[in-house]
A and B are shown apart, each in its own frame.
Chain A
Amino acid sequence: MSAFSNLLAKIRAINARYHEPRIEMSGAVRLSLLVLRVYLLALVALMIYKFVLIVTQG
């Protein structure tokens, strides 16, 4: 139990340490990250679609 709470505390510390992105958020960087988010969301949606197809079609 204490190992689990230690791990959670460590993760919280990591989140706090890297809370703010250090790289300068220029327009190009923001746009790249936005496109990346959209790309990954589309990919996840496609995988879910494929999973549903496999489940429904056997």
Chain B
Amino acid sequence: MNLFAKLYYPLRKAWKAIGLYLVIAGPGLVVMVADNDAGGITTYAATGAKYGYHLIWFLLLLIPVAYYVQEMTVRLGAITKRGHAEAIFDGFGAFWGWFSLLDLMIVDWLTLVTEFVGMTAALAIFGVPPWITVIAVILLMAVIVLNGRYWTFEKLALLFCALNLVYIPGAFLVHPSVRDVVHQGLIPNLAGGFNGQLFFFLMANIGTTIAPWMLFFQQSAVVDKGMLEKDIPWGRFDTLLGSFITVLVAVFIVIVTGTVLQGIDIDDAAQAAHELMKTDRYVGTFLAIGLFDAGLLGAICISLASSWAFGEIFGWAHSLNTKIRQAPWFYATYFLLLVTAGLVVLIPKAPLVLITLFVQVIAVTLLPAALVFLILLLNDRATMGERRNTLPQNLIGGFIVVSIIILSTLYGFSVLFPNLFR
């Protein structure tokens, strides 16, 4: 009885804290899990197939990288009540504003095409024709965003985030050696020595961890959700949890392909699912479901990042808390991007491989600019007041931003000139 009395209040307090978190949870978790989009799944599957468990330690290093960058958007959104696009226009003037907005639109649209490529390829494994996939996805996304409540959208998105965890049971089904995972994966090592190909894979993994649309999405989502300055600690926790989950999922994908497909060159995640089907039907099915879910989640967030940005700048109503009649341009932008990207996939002989490569190159022109603006805005005393970056935050954030800029630029170069690092 005494033990029960002692436990009751701490447990009630913890339960209350969990309840409060579930109310606040959302932008950080959704953006981070959506970061494991179709392109991300392909990169992790290829990494596992190429290097086995040897690069798991490197993926773990990406947790703080993703956290530090995205945490800044939480503070900026909660303090300024402005999305990232509007913050850039306001802070740096029309030239940089238009540059960022148009670049974002191009990158987002091209990335959306790659999400549709992933989704159609995933469902093709189950015999679903691409046109049915495209129509079904557009209808599903309409249901998700047209309910007129941000809260409903977010909770539905969190449901799809939970589906992203399908890779975890998938990894257990292939019976990896825990000893090998720990010995090869957790002790930093460079499999086969440092060479151009390894460098390419390291850069690709960084490139999939931080994408330009993530900055725009999370800041706008923080504003649309109505997060206040007092909610920043919860927003930080949400982002940290999201960073942890996104890397955890990546690690489990690497474990799956590292166990079953080691030595096979993987060009896309659908190919990995096909190969896995040959060895274990259930694991292949899990990978295909995960790929579809990743593409869907990525598509939802990427379309929203663009429509929010356009709404902010053109002064249209741009909230998921509005009905279609109240914010017609916001929803029109959302569906225009979605439908046109879906149609590209249905064009016979569309240059989809070229589009996939082009995404990475164009993203390199936006990511450094968006990151530099982020750091500068976070140092603006007039806007951020006491919430501006401290010296340690600037040192850590600055180091991460400079590293991402250098590595993503080199990654862009390697896409333009494939023999550069090989």
Contacts and interface: CB of A to CB of B under 8 A. Distances in A.
Interface of A: 10, 14-15, 18-24, 29, 32-33, 36, 39-40, 43-44, 46-47, 50
Contacts of B94: 14-15, 18-19
B93 A21 contact: yes
Contact of B93 (A20, A43, A46, A50): A20
B376 A32 contact: yes
A22 B87 CA distance: 10
Contacts of A10: 314-315
B380 A23 contact: yes
Given A32-B376, A39-B368, A40-B369, A23 B416 contact: no
A23 B376 contact: yes
Indicate the size class of the contact surface on chain B: 20 to 34
Contacts of B416: 46-47, 50
Contacts of B104: none
Contacts, number: 56
A23 B92 contact: yes
A51 to B, nearest CB: 10
Contacts of B364: 43
A20 to B, nearest CB: 7
A15 B365 CA distance: 22
Contacts of B376: 23, 29, 32
Contacts of A20: 93
B89 A18 contact: yes
Contact of B91 (A23, A36, A50): A23
Interface in B356-385: 361, 364-365, 368-369, 372, 376-377, 380-383
Contacts of A29: 376
B400 interface: no
B369 A36 contact: yes
Given A14-B89, A14-B97, 5 more contacts: A18-B97, A23-B91, A44-B365, A46-B416, A47-B361
Contacts of A44: 365
Interface in B303-333: 313-315
Which of A18, A24, A33, A44 is the most central at the interface, judged by chain B CB atoms within 10 Å of its CB?
A18
B103 to A, nearest CB: 10
Contacts of B380: 23-24
A49 to B, nearest CB: 9
A29 B380 CA distance: 10
Nearest to B381: A24
A10 B311 CA distance: 12
A23 B377 CA distance: 8
B90 interface: yes
B4 interface: no
Contacts of B93: 18-21
B371 to A, nearest CB: 10
A32 B365 contact: no
A4 to B, nearest CB: 15
Which of B93, B314, B409 is the most central at the interface, judged by chain A CB atoms within 10 Å of its CB?
B93
B90 A43 contact: no
B361 A36 contact: no
A36 B372 contact: yes
A27 B96 CA distance: 18
Contacts of B194: none
B417 interface: yes
A35 to B, nearest CB: 8
A36 to B, nearest CB: 6
The 4 A-B pairs at the shortest CB distance, nearest first, are namely A21-B93, A23-B91, A18-B94, A18-B89
B92 A21 contact: yes
A14 B377 contact: no
A22 B91 contact: yes
